[in-house]
Structure 1
Amino acid sequence: MSENIRLARIVSWSVLLGMPIFFLLISILTNEWLYLWISFIPAFLAGYVGLIVTRRKISKLEGETLRPPK
C-alpha cells in the first residue's frame, strides 16, 4: 500500500485550520459563539495528532533512506 505523506499533511492542516474557520462562519451567521469555542478543542486535537503522526512517518522514511545498505 502506497503511503501519501503529502495528502496526510494537507488533511491535518485543513482540519487544524478549516474546522475553526467553518465554525467561525456558522457562529457569525447564527450569532451563537458557543459553536466556535466548542470547535477549538476537537480541531486542535485532530489536526495536531495528524501532524505528529505525519512528522514521525517522515522521520522514519528519512531514516530508512539514509541508512547504508548491509
Structure 2
Amino acid sequence: MDDHVVISMVANNLGISMLPNLVIGNARAQIQALPLEPNFSRELGIGIRSYAGLSPAAQQFIAAIQEHINTF
C-alpha cells in the first residue's frame, strides 16, 4: 500500500513490481525500471462542480497542472 516500501523492497532484491513513472521518480538510482511492451498509458482528470466556486489555491493548482501538461 506504500509505494516507498515497494520501491525499497525491490531495491533490496525482495521482489519485482509494476509502478507508474510518476511513483518511481528519483528512485531510478536504486532500482532498474524497464518499460512495458507494448507501451501502456492512462488518462487522469480533475472533476469539479464549478470553476468559479473553487478557492484561489485550487484554481492555481489546475493552472499549474495545465501548464505542466503542455510541456509534453
Alignment TM-score > 0.5, same fold: no
Higher relative contact order (CA 8 A, sep 6+): 1
**Where is the helix percentage greater, Structure 1 or Structure 2?**
1
Instruction: Give the alignment's TM-score, normalised by structure 2.
Output: 0.29
Instruction: Give the alignment's TM-score, normalised by structure 1.
Output: 0.29
